A and B are shown apart, each in its own frame.
Chain A
Amino acid sequence: MADIDVGLMRGTLDLLILKALTWGPRHGYGVVDWIEQATGAALLVGEGTLYPALHRLEAQGWIEAEWGLSENNRHAKFYKLTATGRAQLRTGLSAWQQFVEAASRALHTSASPRPA
């Protein structure tokens, strides 16, 4: 299966980012850190791919950014969830659930299709 790329789809990454921010503001590195820990380092191919997604979500108004000081006293850009973002996360999660269940059912089934 190594040849098939089942890497992060855009919507999935967005959902992960929103989820990462549910516990409060984080900077980009913090989000990456959370995703790696939560998924067992399985999903992120390049850490950089996260950033355009963050900026896009900011432009959509789902998250907002503010500059602040990090735990080691450096300037860092912190992102936090907006009310819209929170709502998006809720609807996104249930959509994801349906999608995964459907895809999973299909991928694991053993019955062959009936002849047309």
Chain B
Amino acid sequence: MSDRGAWTRVFRIGVGAKHLERDVDQELDFHIAMRTQKLLATGLPPDAARAKALERFGDLRTVRDSCLDIDHQRERAMRRTNYLSNLRQDITYALRTMRQNAGFTAVVLLTLALGIGANTSTFTLIDALVLRSLPVPHPEQLVTIGNPARVGGLSEGTPRNDIASYPLYADVRAQSKLLAGVYASGRSNRLDMLADEKQKEPEHPRGRYVSANYFSVLQVPAALGRTFSPEEDRAIGGAPVLVISYGYWLTRFAGDRSVVGRSVLVNGVPLTIIGVAPRSFPSDIVGQRTDVWIPIMEQHALMPNSPALTDRSVSWILMMGRLAPGVTLAQARAEVTAIENRSLVENAKPAERASIEKDVREKPLRVESGARGFSYYRHLLAGPLFILMAAVSVVLLIVCANLANLMLARASARGREMSVRMALGANRARLVQQLLTESVLLSVVGGALGVLLALWGSSALIALTGGAQVDARLDGRVLFFTAALSLATAVLFGLVPALRATRVELAAALRAQGRGVSNAERGTGRFGLGKMLVVAQVALSVLLLVGTGMLVRSMQRLQATDIGVARDQLLMVEVDAERAGYKDARLLTLMRALVTRANQTPGVVATSLSENGIFSGTESATNVRVEGFTAQSDEDSSIAYDDVGPAYFRTIGARLVQGRVLEDRDNVSGAKVAVLNQTAARFFFPRGNSLGAHISSDSLTYEIIGVVSDIEEQNLRAEPTRRVYIPASQIPATPGRFSLEVRTSGDPARLGESLRRSLATVDPALSLRAQPLTELVQESIAQDKLVARVVSVFGILALALAALGLYGVMTYATTRRTSEFGLRMALGAEPGNVLRLVLGEAMLLVAGGVMVGMPAALGAMQLVKHQLYEIGLLDWPSILVALLVLGASAALAGYVPARRAARVGPLVALRDA
């Protein structure tokens, strides 16, 4: 029996399961000991007394276990309620603090929303283009065969394996045993579609020619009607049907269910709409829209002048297969590669055999996971998107540093509150948890705002990509990314200040009476945390600014690249006379008529034509023999060519280097002549004696009459290739698709439409498209512009944030030192001295940041080297501009507080001290 006097409190703090066991053991031991003692008193010997006590107790082990069970359950329940009540308390506390400091909260939320929003926007695009799987069942079973980026590819000549000919596809389909199915998908030229009789102007849906097993391999059922049946793969011309996409059904046919069964005219051929693809399946090509799928067997009917189903020299097919159950990608790759290589070599023309054998040896067939579909834009934008991701991550880091600094300043203001609470027995972990709750709350709300911002931001980014159709939506992955990012952000900017705030020296803090804590604690000491954060921000800004400078300069260089023609007043008109049936002599007459008509149009200075045009996306190459030159390899005899009209070089403004350019007399009845570009002339004639030599292709031989300077025809970054120009009238079969080059006296963009209309009067059946050359060139560097533009925006944002951080820290530091400045001035210092002192300190921080940031910037630029054009890794102009801009903003950020410090009257300062 206990008596009151012996009742002494003993504090125990138990942790984990160990203390529970110890307690139970101690409690039961005590009982046995007491009983033994009682029995001893009755005269039993010690051993017997203990044995008797244990016997009276019963099964010790069972009792112990049931006690422990009960205690464990109780402890768990307690911990849960404790945690929940703490959390509720912390949230209430955090919300109150946030409300009380509404201005502070607004700034923090805005900064967070910007940082997280920028990251989410970028990640949304990466998700849509790079990460997301096709919306079909079991996308992991799909494999692409060929280069999945060549969705618009078409290559005539030596068969190849990055894109395939239809007969090559047929071989793979017939022979593969490891693929449960494999479909073909090929580009279509512009389609002219008339959906009903009343329609006068044709529309141009984006179409793909696909084998009839397309939907069955993808396992995509029709939303309406049916998809293709095996019948539609049997015979050329035997499948006059098409399937339309859900999006096209909604926009073009307003979701009219009676559209199934309707007949439409496509390129003049009646096709029946048999079905609508489901809404969930926009296309197997990521980044591009597909409006209609046409059975590949109709390709001949729709493009009668370039039948491509029987010709092994026309490569235009991408393949997608589905692995048979249990088959691995590696097994399928081995099988398909073997089939393709055998087919390519067996069917090679004798002249091409050697080069094909070399090709399949050196460039193995690409058989890759097709889970993410085909995509040109993925290939184009993945690099820039990752650069962008890096840039926005840096911005977020700066945001974190900035917020950490703000929180730090706030924490030091609350230093006294913290020390009082700790003196009253609050434990530190609990206070840290409370401060972190506030950070997490801020970043969660900031993250939510960021998501809203990203809704707008990702569509703005997509608009900048110029043409990509990206299905950017906030799916689970994006939201998870944002949530994780927000939490990481909270920890990053909240943890250190929270730890700092609670690491107060109690006595010192309490003594300081509201003055806060020591310099080191406040983060404003010589090497205070606040200053280190500013150094980090400056360093990160240097990284972004130098990067921005280099990307912008690289883009400017690209834009200013000499493409070898006077590009400013040149209009390119793409003409398709093939579909209207022009050939041979009639075609040559048409060409002359078009040139004449163009020249009669007001505003036109000169007109010429060529097969491939400039920056048109098409290119031709052939193998030639050159007089006096011995080819060491197949490669040596290859040359790009273009067949051009009279006055071509004069019209485009090319520069003649040697000999003469093509003239009117170089026509169908004249001597066969050719002009080389400088690269070709140097390669074939190192001694410069090209004029008068002969070059032959197929059975025709041309005399070289001139050399022009290199013309960049497709890609500003590309090294100039060897090229030969031949009069269009002197080649065996003049192609029906060609470009008109039209030099204008004014802005070519203004002339485009009137020229098109005037040319259409020659023959309304012609398909014509006019675009200024400068526009075509700009389109070719769209991704460079995108990266430079977006990174610039973030660079400026980073600079602004860093300047804000510097301003904050300097203001804080100078206010704290008001009395010191007062004293200095009382002792005779001039305001200028104080100004210099404070500015000097700000500049020291900037210098520190530059010293850290510069090597980081150079290292980072090493990683994006391939994005840069003619920019060395130590690009002084970019570096100098970055430093100047940074220095100027830092000076401004430092000057305001410095001047305020210098204005302090000595008396005021001392009195306030």
Contact = CB atoms under 8 A, between A and B. Distances in A.
Nearest to B73: A59
A29 B74 CA distance: 23
Interface residues of A, number: 34
B81 to A, nearest CB: 12
B386 interface: no
Contacts of A30: 1-2
A71 B3 contact: yes
**Residue picked from B10, B27, B74, most chain A C-beta under 10 Å:** B27
A25 B67 contact: no
B6 A68 contact: yes
B58 A77 contact: no
Contact of B2 (A32, A48, A51, A78): A78
Interface string A66-87: 1111111111111000000000
Contacts of A58: 70, 74
Contacts of B4: 24
Interface string B13-30: 000000000010011101
Interface residues of B, number: 33
B12 interface: yes
Contacts of B527: none
A28 B27 contact: yes
Given A52-B66, A55-B67, A69-B8, A74 B1 contact: no
A46 B56 contact: yes
B881 interface: no
A57 to B, nearest CB: 10
Nearest to A71: B6
A74 B30 contact: yes
Contacts of B3: 71
B693 interface: no
Interface string A1-23: 00000000000000000000000
A67 B60 contact: no
Contacts of B35: 29, 47
Contacts of A55: 66-67, 70-71, 74
A55 B407 CA distance: 46
A52 B7 contact: no
B231 interface: no
Contact of B63 (A24, A33, A51, A59): A51
B26 A77 contact: yes
B34 interface: yes
Given A68-B8, A76-B30, A77-B26, A46 B2 contact: no
Contacts of A71: 1-3, 6
Contacts of A88: none
B873 interface: no
A48 B4 CA distance: 26
Contacts of B8: 68-69
Interface string B52-73: 0000111110110011001101
Nearest to A54: B67
Given A51-B67, A52-B67, A56-B70, A67 B31 contact: no
Contacts of A29: 30-31, 34-35
A70 B67 contact: no
Contacts of A32: 31
A68 B4 CA distance: 11
A47 B2 contact: no
Contacts of A67: 10, 12, 23
B9 interface: yes
B1 A52 contact: no
Contacts of A76: 2, 27, 30
A72 B56 CA distance: 22
A78 B73 CA distance: 21
A53 to B, nearest CB: 10
A28 B31 contact: yes
B70 A52 contact: yes
A59 B74 contact: yes
A52 B70 CA distance: 8
A77 B59 contact: no
B2 A25 contact: yes
Given A24-B2, A55-B70, A67-B12, A78 B26 contact: no
Contacts of B74: 55, 58-59
Contacts of B33: 74
Contacts of B1: 26, 30, 33-34, 71
25 contacts: A24-B4, A28-B27, A29-B34, A30-B1, A47-B35, A47-B56, A51-B63, A52-B63, A52-B67, A55-B70, A55-B74, A58-B70, A67-B12, A68-B6, A68-B8, A69-B7, A69-B10, A70-B2, A70-B34, A71-B6, A75-B26, A75-B30, A76-B30, A77-B30, A78-B7
Interface of A: 24-30, 32-34, 45-49, 51-52, 55-56, 58-59, 66-78
The 9 closest A-B pairs by CB, nearest first: A46-B58, A48-B58, A48-B63, A59-B74, A52-B66, A55-B70, A29-B34, A48-B57, A77-B27
